[in-house]
Amino acid sequence: MTLTASDFLAIADHTLLTPGTTEPELHQFLGEALRLGVARVCISPSLLPVDPVALGELEIVTVVGFPSGAHTAPVKAFEAARAIAAGAHEIDMVVNQGLVRAGEWDAVRAEIAGVRAACPGQVLKVILETATLTDDEIVGACRAAEEAGADFVKTSTGFSPAGGATVHAVRLMAATVGGRLGVKASGGIRTADAVRELWAAGATRFGVSATAAIVHGWEAGEPPAVLASPPTY
């Protein structure tokens, strides 16, 4: 199918995770999201709850264990439950990278399962921070996320100095989960071309703060790519 700007907006989590965000800045961001026509925004849990008038029809994604993933498993579960009670619709949790790198898969699954239990019925994404992991570690983390009941695996927080989303990581994640989970690409995605490349590699959701610039890339005349359609989540 042809990937259009409208298709992208439907699967974009328009993101504001800047530390120190003020209430006026949040309202400005929400206004931009509504003008762009995205379905969801991703914001810090400390900004919840959100004024329903400012939110409109937007759904809220928030983050747990962010950005290091080094929080204890019970803290992550508590964060998730509290965020859902405050109005979040989806949770993006950062996995404990030390456990992943050590291959302690039972502990990785238990951590994810704890957050899964804390937000039943809501979409749960597991952030792997793929730029810090080997291919084998990425595969193992994807398998643990699936076994623990996650809905998506996600490349990056966007805060790691090691880097963000890459075509290689997305392709590896998509091959591992085989369409059973979604794949969210995030971190350093700033152009329409980058979106199309990651979509072709298997991304089914995007975490982006440069949403307006990406849409402008389509409107400025960049040709849409004709790609095989990935699963819809």
The two three-digit tokens of residue 159, written as one number: 């805060």
125, β-bridge pairs: 92, 152
The two three-digit tokens of residue 109, written as one number: 């699954």
Residue among 13, 76, 125, 184 flagged as catalytic:
184
For residue 125, indicate whether it is catalytic: no
The two three-digit tokens of residue 207, written as one number: 């975490």
Residue among 13, 125, 151, 154 flagged as catalytic:
154
pTM: 0.93
**How are beta strands 152-154 and 123-127 bridged, if at all?**
parallel
Q: Where are the alpha helices (DSSP H) in 37-134?
A: 52-55, 73-85, 97-101, 105-118
Distance from C-alpha of 196 to C-alpha of 6, rounded to nearest angstrom:
13
For residue 154, indicate whether it is catalytic: yes
Domains and CATH numbers, the chain: 5-219 (3.20.20.70)
Report the greatest alpha carbon distance in the chain.
49
pLDDT (tens, 9 = 90+) of the chain, 233 residues, equals 678 999 999 999 999 999 999 999 999 999 999 999 999 999 999 999 999 999 999 999 999 999 999 999 999 999 999 999 999 999 999 999 999 999 999 999 999 999 999 999 999 999 999 999 999 999 999 999 999 999 999 999 999 999 999 999 999 999 999 999 999 999 999 999 999 999 999 999 999 999 999 999 887 765 444 333 333 33
Residue among 76, 92, 125, 151 flagged as catalytic:
92
